[in-house]
Amino acid sequence: MQPQAGNSGPGELESAPVRHAIPGDYRRLLIVLASRAHRLGSRDPEAAAQEALTRSWENTKSQAALDFYFREDIADDVAAPAWSLDQLLAWLHTVLRYVVSEERGRSAYRMEVSLDRGSDAWDERNVSEPSHPGADQLHQLLQRELESILSECFPKLDSEYQAVLRLRGAGMKYDEIAARLGQKENTIATWLSRGIRDLAGCVKRRTQGLGRNK
């Protein structure tokens, strides 16, 4: 499957503005994105994946990161992008989730939206139509998603992992955290890795829950 972002294929949003075709080979990325879209509750996962990739491409920082991390027909010596892999994947997740919500919202003919309401901003009833969210809006959605992840998942972590992640989040280095907690740096690295992995486990369960709730 080749990305055909500029064409009107199955599932292409009627209201989406004219797009530029994405150069490069992202076939395998589209397959895994489609799988994620399915998990998130999309009825047309391939179209959702294609739409998400196209919208991601429209952000210049995302573009460079997509090229570096996922484009398959690019030289290995291309310069590292401004975005880390974390940022790119979080961004892709946000755009994909928005696209899936949009798809569901369109199906339900529920067009009212208010992103600053207290309810879940991702609820399809709250996704605007016609809509092509700007970067700011997507950044806000991403921010809310990250906040939700922390509020739901962080309290479930072991206390040691919470401590390390809290200090790391405050910008401390390994040696500083080690000194603060009276542990070896290797222990801190292990706790940090396990803390993130446990958090990721919770994120995965949450994603599965999102798909089931749709």
Interface residues toward other proteins, by CB under 8 A:
28-29, 31-33, 35-36, 39, 68-70, 72, 80-81, 84-90, 92-93, 116, 136, 139-140, 142-147, 149-151, 153-155, 159-160, 162-163, 165-171, 179-184, 189-190, 192-194, 196-197, 199-201, 203-204, 207
201: left (phi over 0), alpha (psi -120 to 50) or beta: alpha
13 vs 33 by CB, closer to other proteins: 33
In angstroms, give the least distance from the CB of 131 to other proteins.
19
Handedness of CA 123, 49, 132, 56 (dihedral sign): positive
40 vs 106 by CB, closer to other proteins: 40
Tell me if 180 sits within 8 A of 168, measured CB to CB. Answer: no
In angstroms, give the least distance from the CB of 129 to other proteins.
22
Angle at 160 between CA 185 and CA 155, to 5 degrees: 140
159 vs 213 by CB, closer to other proteins: 159
Task: Indicate the DSSP class of residue 125.
Answer: G
Angle at 13 between CA 111 and CA 53, to 5 degrees: 115
13 vs 163 by CB, closer to other proteins: 163
CA distance 74 to 29: 14
In angstroms, give the least distance from the CB of 55 to other proteins.
17
CA distance 36 to 93: 9
In angstroms, give the least distance from the CB of 127 to other proteins.
17
Task: Indicate the DSSP class of residue 119.
Answer: S
In angstroms, give the least distance from the CB of 39 to other proteins.
7
113 vs 196 by CB, closer to other proteins: 196
